[in-house]
Structure 1
């Protein structure tokens, strides 16, 4: 494999979305594992952990984000996140697929994005970041942010590590 260039990039708008937009209703006191098979651990954040999962009926691969509920404010914040994600149905933004609530946690079933972080990609010594790629990446980021703003939603803590790719490309 040689260095990656902008000629190797498939624009993400050329990729079909993983699922059609859905109306998500939080399922109360139902087990996530009745509808989803939990697979490998993907990561841990400040409020919970994320696992890969597979919907039993469709075999869709998705991500299950488990938010621990220790206080009532945790529950309120989780429901705020769900409402925001429901409002933000756009191809440049992470999509919500399903949601579950129990006494101890709230689980968000979301689009699985496996292409890696923008930051990791641009610091990879085998990756050639061209001016054209910068233009494409910035255009796609701005499309997502512009849509958020058009819905009167702002992101207060945007960082380069939060931008992720839908796919990994290989050069042969």
Structure 2
């Protein structure tokens, strides 16, 4: 069985069965049962308040949103165009992510799809892309600490090891697809001042093997 793992504690060992196509299309795991399926755009508007656009490209648009019921900030990835590749990519990302539960892999909370419209509501990482954080630090004349770098690399490898144990190959790992759960800038304005907590994201091109 997949662990619920609601607290963000690094697991001592990878548990649970390997994810397969049958898992994605068959009975939900414990983790996937926690992912809400939204039935309509009206329900999305009732549950989420759109705050701002934080990303846009050929894939679609990414919004920062707020849950009306809890006040929690989330990220909503949206694809509205009828292009089948984008739609299939978002669908695959949602199907894979809802079966995963690891402290260094981005979490999905809800999913909506209807015709040429799809929405994926996920965890909000306030630190942004790790590549951007590194560039800002360098632009500020800072030297990346060895401990900061080794922690980020170790956590990324932990995420990849978990994915591979589940039979999932990311296929698009890069600086833009590794996020910082929190900003690592300290009270002195140093970008590498606080220990990083990295989160691997964007499983749209991932493959289940």
Instruction: Name the TM tier (shorter chain).
Output: 0.7 to 0.9
Give 3-state SS (helix, strand or coil) of 2:77's partner: strand
* Mapped pair 1:94 → 2:109: no
Distance 1:118 1:74 in 2: 24
8 Å contact kept, 2:125–2:179:
yes
Structure number with greater CO (CA < 8 Å, separation at least 6) is 1
Label 1:34 to 1:167 Cα distance change in 2 as closer, same or farther (>3 A).
Answer: same
Superposition CA RMSD, Å: 2.0
Q: Which position in structure 2 is the counterpart of 1:13?
A: none
Unaligned stretches of 5+ residues in structure 1: 1-15
Q: Which position in structure 2 is the counterpart of 1:26?
A: 37
TM-score by length of 1: 0.80
Q: Which position in structure 2 is the counterpart of 1:63?
A: 75
Aligned length, in residue pairs: 154
Distance 2:83 2:178 in 1: 30
Distance 1:163 1:72 in 2: 26
8 Å contact kept, 1:69–1:106:
no
TM-score by length of 2: 0.67
Unaligned stretches of 5+ residues in structure 2: 1-6, 9-30, 189-209
Q: How does 1:77-156 map to 2 (within 5 A)?
A: 77-123=89-135, 124-125=137-138, 126=140, 127-156=142-171
